[in-house]
Amino acid sequence: MTLGSIREQLYGTAPPRGLYCAFPLGRPLGVPNDPTFQHRVLARAFGLLEATSPTVVDYGETITDDPEEVLVCPLPLRHDPEAHPAVDEARGLRAAYERAVKKFGNRTGAVRHLDADAVPDAIAAFIRVAEGTPWKEAGIPGIPARAAQDIRGYYEMAAMEIAGHTPAAWAGYRWYRDQTETGTVIKSAQKAMKDSGTKEALWRFLLPLDAQVT
């Protein structure tokens, strides 16, 4: 029995039993920390076991990605005027990040390739890329997209702790992309890699596909 987040894909592949849920990508059960909601989805999904022939249906409830939904998350004050603002910002978020890891565990933070200690230096590498250094010479630890994922995860976890709640889907990402110094660095690095003729697969996934690389 398959849940689906993209209607055309679910109906197109036609699994034996499918439930299309119009929920944000990354939240197939809809609402985090809401067991009642999640049980409702599961009840509907398991109900499809009663079907006597291949069946794909819509769940019915919709959760949309609302661009008006913003994450209010104050960033730390500057501490080291000698450091690049993005590096200083990342260091300033460390305590909040560590509290988030203690509270939530570390499923999506600096955990795949970088650890928290390595985040500021990784950001410094992307700063060099944004300023024109070829990405291979900039000292990015490992594959750029993986390092960028860990940086984003570090920021989003810190933001969840500072904000004091789990944001609506994508609100944390938009905060990171648009409100932080590091988000600006990553966008600039992405553009620099693209403009230098770097293979698309290496820069396209530094950020989600909605990021406008002009």
Which 49-108 residues touch another protein, going by CB under 8 A?
Answer: 49, 52-54, 64-67, 100, 104-108
Tokens of 85: 């603002």
Task: Give the shortest CB-49-to-another protein separation in angstroms.
Answer: 6
Task: Give the shortest CB-42-to-another protein separation in angstroms.
Answer: 6
Residue 194 interacts with another protein (CB under 8 A): yes or no: no
Cβ burial of 67 (10 Å; 0-12, 13-18, 19+) is exposed
Task: Give the shortest CB-181-to-another protein separation in angstroms.
Answer: 19
Of the candidate residues 59, 91, 121, 205, the single one contacting another protein (CB under 8 A): 205
Q: For the window 106-125, what string marks contact with another protein as x by the rule CB under 8 A?
A: xxxx-xx-------------
DSSP structure string for 26-40: T-TTSSTT-HHHHHH
Cβ burial of 165 (10 Å; 0-12, 13-18, 19+) is exposed
Task: Give the shortest CB-134-to-another protein separation in angstroms.
Answer: 21
Nearest to 5 by CA among 20, 31, 208, 29: 20
Residues 138 and 186 sit within 8 Å (Cβ to Cβ): no
Residue 207 interacts with another protein (CB under 8 A): yes or no: yes
Tokens of 155: 């920021």
Residue 183 interacts with another protein (CB under 8 A): yes or no: no
Q: For the window 14-33, what string marks contact with another protein as x by the rule CB under 8 A?
A: xxx-------xxxxxxxxxx
